[in-house]
Structure 1
Amino acid sequence: MTIRLLLADDQALVRGALSALLGLEPDLEVVAEAGSGADVVTAVLDHRPDVALLDVEMPGLDGIEATAEVRRTAPQTRVLIVTTFGRPGYLRRALQAGASGFVVKDTPAAQLADAVRRVHQGLRVVDPQLAADSLVAGESPLSQRETEVLRAARDGSPVSAIAARLFLSEGTVRNHLSAAIGKTGAANRTEAVLTADNFGWL
């Protein structure tokens, strides 16, 4: 039986390489590709793949948000996250969104093909080092609002701009930033963004 695949990555070169590698396997067939998270659900509904391989960082919807949408609209399609960014927070959030597996892009081709088969069988596949790191890192200490404020602060926007974007008062934004700095053990908001980003909490 052939396992039908969808590949989603915003880099065409990466999609092409994955397609070529997986296409060498006699039981795997790439039936669709997507270059953004927003295109994933449409492609899944149009092509009905058995397994969708999604990157995390894509324009529009990220891979984790796209995973939740795929599981909601096409529950017969299983999701395997294949990403450069092996961050503990990403793993936790991806599994919570309904992903069946999470591997990094430098996984050898034979192991990736095996991961696809196992996910298709209904098994869970997680990079073992990442699983261990996730247990050590624990869940994000940030509240939903603190996470939103830190995300908005990523580009270095002033407090006034963040407040306007999130429809909050400047004082509230400062309070959330201060709390996030304390919870991440950072010295300032730039460091807090960096720490949260590295753990995959944003």
Structure 2
Amino acid sequence: MVISVAVVDPLPMFCQGVVAALAGSGHRVDVPDDVLAWSHRRDRSLILLTLDVEPAWSILRRLRAETPRHVVLALIEGDQPLQGAKAVQAGAQSVLPRAMNAAMLRRTIDATSDGLCVLPASVMTLLAATDVTSGHIASGHVSDMVGPRLPPPTQLSWLRQLAAGSTVSRLAGQIGYSERAMFRQLRGLYQQMGVSGRTEAILRAQEFGWLTPDGDG
């Protein structure tokens, strides 16, 4: 069966490799500059989307909302179960590590186009432990996920307030810090958690159950 595929990735050489890998299977492959515009002009197709930065996640959400007839196969870097689970919740039908080989890519595209959901085992395990409606990990944590050290109660409170929608400015005012000092304190917390920013910190805290009332013990 010939499948129409769009490839969305920041590296042209990666896109060229995917095109070469799929060309032998007879699939029609495009590398559109604007995949959203492309999706509006096409009948049901498969979109291979690398989720590397926030704009890519925005594209995934918009594809789900604006052109749900298309199916999305999300590519994530390495073994990141939380990113894979998040991709499924955002609208991806299947998930693959970006470093997959050509044979795996072809098999997954064929299966996904046939209506199947293909996921790494680690992503399936995490989804099984996740309350999909709230986005929180259930009380039974995934056994093979080892988290960072639990932050002190004060910093845990900061994370919970940020997750609930508080701004850094509001948080600083409650604590009595300047906004600049608050940013500095949060940067230190993010470094301790091994993350690069607020969103990733909240996701990590959510992953390990720290955002629930019983998550501090």
Question: Aligned to 1:127, which of 120, 124, 127?
Answer: 120
- 2:18 aligned partner: 18
Which SS does the other structure have where 2:99 is aligned?
Answer: coil
* Cα distance change, pair 7–201 in 1 and its aligned pair in 2 (3 A): farther
- RMSD value, Cα: 3.8
For 2:125 and 2:88, the matched residues in 1 are separated by 15
Within a 5 Å distance, the mapping from 1:118-197 to structure 2 comes to 118-132=111-125, 136=142, 137=145, 145-146=162-163, 163=168, 168=170, 170-171=172-173, 188-192=189-193, 194=195, 197=200
4+ residue runs of structure 1 moved beyond 6 angstroms?
A: 173-178
* Cα distance change, pair 132–116 in 1 and its aligned pair in 2 (3 A): same
For 2:115 and 2:59, the matched residues in 1 are separated by 19
Read off the aligned partner of 2:114 and give its amino acid letter: Q
* Cα distance change, pair 128–169 in 1 and its aligned pair in 2 (3 A): closer
Which residues of structure 1 form unaligned runs of 5+?
150-161, 182-186
* Cα distance change, pair 198–108 in 1 and its aligned pair in 2 (3 A): farther
Shift of 1:44: 1.4
For 2:59 and 2:125, the matched residues in 1 are separated by 25
| TM-score using structure 2 length | 0.63
Contact (CA 8 Å) 1:33, 1:43: kept in 2 or not? no
* Cα distance change, pair 148–56 in 1 and its aligned pair in 2 (3 A): farther
Shift of 1:53: 0.4
Q: Is residue 104 of structure 2 the alignment partner of residue 111 of structure 1?
A: yes
Question: Aligned to 2:41, which of 46, 57, 64?
Answer: 46
Contact (CA 8 Å) 1:82, 1:102: kept in 2 or not? yes
For 2:202 and 2:28, the matched residues in 1 are separated by 34
* Cα distance change, pair 148–91 in 1 and its aligned pair in 2 (3 A): farther
Contact (CA 8 Å) 2:190, 2:201: kept in 1 or not? no
Contact (CA 8 Å) 2:81, 2:122: kept in 1 or not? no
For 2:42 and 2:204, the matched residues in 1 are separated by 32
| More helix, by proportion | 1
Number of aligned residue pairs? 172
Contact (CA 8 Å) 1:56, 1:85: kept in 2 or not? no
Structure number with greater CO (CA < 8 Å, separation at least 6) is 1
Which SS does the other structure have where 2:116 is aligned?
Answer: coil
Read off the aligned partner of 1:11 and give its amino acid letter: L
| TM-score using structure 1 length | 0.67
Read off the aligned partner of 1:45 and give its amino acid letter: H
Overall identity of the aligned pairs, in %: 17
Query: Greater CA radius of gyration, 1 or 2?
Result: 2
- 1:72 aligned partner: 65
Which residues of structure 2 form unaligned runs of 5+?
130-141, 147-155, 206-217
Question: Aligned to 2:87, which of 94, 106, 116?
Answer: 94
Shift of 1:110: 1.2
Contact (CA 8 Å) 1:8, 1:52: kept in 2 or not? yes
Read off the aligned partner of 2:162 and give its amino acid letter: R
